[in-house]
Structure 1
Amino acid sequence: MSAAVDRLKDLTRPTGEEDLLDVAYPTPRFSLSLRHAVFATCLVAVLLGGWLVLRGDPADSSLPVADQALPALSSVSEVPAEPLVVSVVGEVARPGLITLPPGSRVDDALAVAGPLPGAQLASVNLAQLMIDGQQLLVPAQSAELGGAEDTLALDGSGNSLVSLNSASAAELMSLDGVGEKTAEEIISYRESSGGFSTLDQLMEVKGIGPAKFEAMVGRVSL
């Protein structure tokens, strides 16, 4: 086996007569010394550090840009409240439509309309808030009793009439068919509408139908 290997080595050993290839290798165009490499590395590190400082930390912004713009948009959408237009009728010097600022009360409306000396202001809730389109009725004092409240007015049979505009819940409950809930509905309607101007408005009160109205109409007054 070793003889065969030695024979193979003899056959492949160079004889010195082989033609050598003359290969021309290109000369490098650029060479980088160790000093230049260190300088370039330091320059890259300085530039990268400056870029990070100028860029800042994105985590400092707690809200997206779209969310930060929302407060400005909401302020633009705010609409100022419009003035109130109400009607004041009855015992006032200047009846008709008046314009009031938002949040006005009955007392503010009366200050513009001017109550007459014969006005029965005890039956008007001066602290009630006015709403746009509301009508305020200022009733007159009872002529029969020289200024006494209408709750003491008398009907044709000598019975006392109950004033829809000034009666208490207990006085309203003295009427036929009027219980506590109906009395509360009458007072609620009176306060929201500015008072009763006609007896027929009783039909607009919740819980009062034609039959109950007929039983009450002869016992009530404005």
Structure 2
Amino acid sequence: MDPTDIDPDPDRSDDDMTASLSELPVEEIPPADVDNLVEDDAYTSVGSLGNDPEAEVAVATDLEQELLSALMWAPPAIARAVAAQLDTKHFWVPQHARIFAAIVTVVATNAAPSPALVNAQLLATGGQGEFSTRSAQQTMLTLVAPTHRPVAVAGQVPYLAIAVIDGWYRRGYTALLTAMDQRRQEAPIEELSGHWAQLTRYQQRAESEWLTRRQALTEVE
């Protein structure tokens, strides 16, 4: 699947670190705008792409699709345990984040997150209307009936989740480095150490979250 064919939600959230894929070709995706970054979780959101955005988007899209597909066929206990360690911000593709949110809602009822229940949850919450019924159906079809690979077995689900979180963590570093480079060029020299200290706090918070969630996923059985 070409990720630029996806019709992502143009309004991720107020604390986005980067522009939505929207209609832009991959090579035209702008870097993170430091002036739009806010306190709290700004630097621990979805992150920014590096020097090869097309490859990064392809890898992230493939991993997210395989994880979501596996979650919808996984035993309820594994689906709940894995979903508990993930957040919508860990997904690069907005449709995938919304589908994951629907999976979380379904597993919270102690039901197995079957494709039918997830699709019903998307419809019940307006998810299909937000990125079009056609787009939602195409995305769900890709997830539940992949043409280029089998659905991952249950034992692979935690490792797919780890790979998704690793991608989020790496994109966060890209955003931090981009932000500091902008500050280096634009901020008064006496403010540089303060900006560095602030970015270091963001990095430490992201690292703590990454380590905690990653460790929990390694313990899922």
TM-score category by the smaller chain? under 0.3
TM-score computed with the length of structure 2 as normaliser: 0.23
TM-score computed with the length of structure 1 as normaliser: 0.23
Q: RCO higher in 1 or 2 (8 Å CA, sep ≥ 6)?
A: 2
Q: Which has the larger radius of gyration?
A: 1
Higher helix fraction: Structure 1 or Structure 2? 2
